[in-house]
């Protein structure tokens, strides 16, 4: 974009039930400004896995076109969210001897220890998505965030490694590229969401992000400022919709509308509980009326299952008792009335709704849990926290962080071409 005062960045959240696009304008010393928001139904994915590329491409094109029109910007590259029950993660460890002069840890030592940490036997059908440092250890001194310049003879690291199915990752990238957009990076969706809904203090003290998507529910646990565990539950808001459709014998589209308009999973929060709900029949069959209590029964049952499965995953970790600040719910499923109250009951800890923050611009449009991942992708890209691990410390020391970000973003997005 030449020497423009502003640069631009895009995030695309590819979900099972919807695809969202966010375009932000960024300038040194300012919060990113959201200037484009788009959302479109997603018909080509199941549980986060692409099952129909052409449908997925059309959904991506639709969401991005909305954001482009709003921003008057043409997207060339984007950060793309990835989730699904094909995601697997585990903690790893690497150890190397310090090779720097005077036994001082160098950037090359950090590269080598991270390479050692990810040198694990991985099946040929798995792809490394992230290697996320938790801490570095120099000669048994733990808790080091950046070991460069510290003296020692032995450098260790503990990391969280996230992998995805090769074909699933390839099909997401192929879909985005067929929509005319280059994938700058694939980012685990709960990791991206954490950038928009968590504070640094929450991540230090211990917090859990639960991203309730349409096909899956994704969990990320943070403690002492870094990600400690991730997990995926193969259930999401789409299962709630499906339950409504099956039990009430109504089309999926109508079930989704009923869920959004009347959905609740806490009987105490029902408005006018005596008023019946009219439910359309399938294929011109006659409609019927049901009680709000019945609808709540259906929704609560599935939401309880999702939360209990999530709680079981959390209890399996070594960090369950360290989650001081509690749970942050985000994603479309978190918008069901009473979700926070039900989650507090099941997790037995404080729960709040995760509203995206840390930006200006189209606040009314973007400040919703359904855009937590999209906004988070923008903030993730701007932070450069983990992307540098693809080519660790690639920018020279002489460059400012802002200049490194500008260099990285300069080709991402160009002004909309005339006509």
Q: What is the DSSP string of 325-359?
A: T-EEEESGGGGSBTHHHHHHHHH-S-EEE----S-
CATH number at residue 144: 3.30.1490.110
In a domain, 82, yes or no: no
The pairing of beta strand 182-188 with beta strand 77-82: parallel
pLDDT < 50 stretches in the chain: 1-3, 388, 390-414, 417-419
Structure tokens at 376: 């988070």
Which phi-psi region, left, alpha or beta, contains residue 365 (left: φ > 0; alpha: ψ -120 to 50)? alpha
Helix ranges, 249-371 (H): 252-262, 292-315, 339-347, 363-366
Task: Look at the block and give the residue holding tokens 């003290």.
Answer: 205
Q: Domain of 129?
A: 88-165
pLDDT in tens, 83-98: 999 999 999 999 999 9
Structure tokens at 177: 């590229």
In a domain, 102, yes or no: yes
The CA distance from 20 to 213, in Å, is 12
In a domain, 138, yes or no: yes
What is the pTM assigned to this prediction? 0.89
Structure tokens at 143: 């808790």
pLDDT at 2: 39
In a domain, 106, yes or no: yes
Domain count, the chain: 1
In a domain, 103, yes or no: yes
Query: What single string gives the DSSP state of each residue in 102-125?
Result: GGB--HHHHHHHHHHHH-S---TT
In a domain, 99, yes or no: yes
Please state the separation of Cα 336 from the chain's center in Å. Answer: 19
pLDDT in tens, 332-372: 999 999 999 999 999 999 999 999 999 999 888 999 999 99
In a domain, 120, yes or no: yes
In a domain, 159, yes or no: yes
pLDDT at 416: 52
């Amino acid at each position: 974009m030449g020497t423009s005062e502003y640069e631009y960045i895009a995030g695309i959240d590819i979900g099972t039930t919807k695809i969202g696009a966010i375009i932000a304008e960024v300038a040194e010393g300012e919060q990113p400004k959201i200037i484009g928001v788009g959302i479109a139904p997603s018909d080509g994915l199941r549980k986060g896995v692409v099952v129909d590329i052409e449908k997925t491409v059309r959904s991506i094109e639709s969401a991005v076109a909305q954001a482009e029109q709003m921003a008057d910007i043409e997207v060339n590259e984007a950060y793309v969210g990835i989730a699904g029950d094909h995601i697997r993660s585990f903690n790893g460890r690497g150890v190397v001897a310090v090779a720097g002069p005077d036994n001082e840890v160098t950037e090359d030592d950090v590269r080598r220890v991270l390479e050692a940490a990810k040198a694990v036997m991985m099946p040929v059908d798995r792809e490394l998505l992230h290697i996320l440092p938790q801490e570095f250890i120099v000669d048994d001194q733990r808790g080091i965030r950046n070991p460069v310049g510290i003296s020692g003879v032995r450098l260790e690291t503990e990391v969280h490694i996230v992998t995805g199915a090769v074909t699933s990752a390839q099909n997401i990238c192929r879909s985005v590229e067929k929509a005319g957009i280059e994938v700058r990076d694939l980012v685990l969706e709960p990791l991206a969401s954490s950038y928009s809904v968590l504070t640094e203090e929450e991540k230090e003290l211990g917090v859990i992000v639960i991203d309730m998507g349409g096909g899956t529910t994704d969990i990320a646990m943070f403690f002492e400022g870094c990600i400690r565990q991730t997990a995926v539950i193969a259930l999401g808001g789409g299962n709630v919709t499906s339950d409504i459709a099956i039990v009430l014998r109504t089309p999926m589209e109508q079930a989704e509308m009923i869920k959004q308009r009347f959905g609740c999973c806490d009987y105490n929060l029902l408005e006018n509980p005596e008023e019946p709900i009219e439910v359309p029949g399938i294929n011109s069959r006659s409609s019927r009326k049901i009680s709000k209590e019945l609808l709540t029964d259906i929704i609560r049952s599935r939401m309880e299952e999702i939360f209990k499965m999530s709680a079981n995953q959390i209890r399996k970790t070594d960090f369950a008792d360290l989650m001081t600040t509690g749970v942050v719910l985000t994603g479309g499923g978190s918008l069901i009335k009473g979700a926070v109250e039900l989650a507090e009951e099941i997790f037995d800890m404080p729960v709040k709704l995760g509203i995206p923050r840390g930006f200006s611009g189209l606040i009314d449009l973007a400040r919703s849990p359904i855009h937590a991942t999209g906004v988070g992708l923008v903030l993730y890209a701007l932070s450069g926290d983990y992307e540098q691990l693809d080519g660790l410390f690639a920018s020279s020391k002489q460059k400012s962080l802002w200049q490194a970000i500008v260099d990285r973003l300069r080709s991402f997005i160009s002004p909309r071409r005339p006509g």
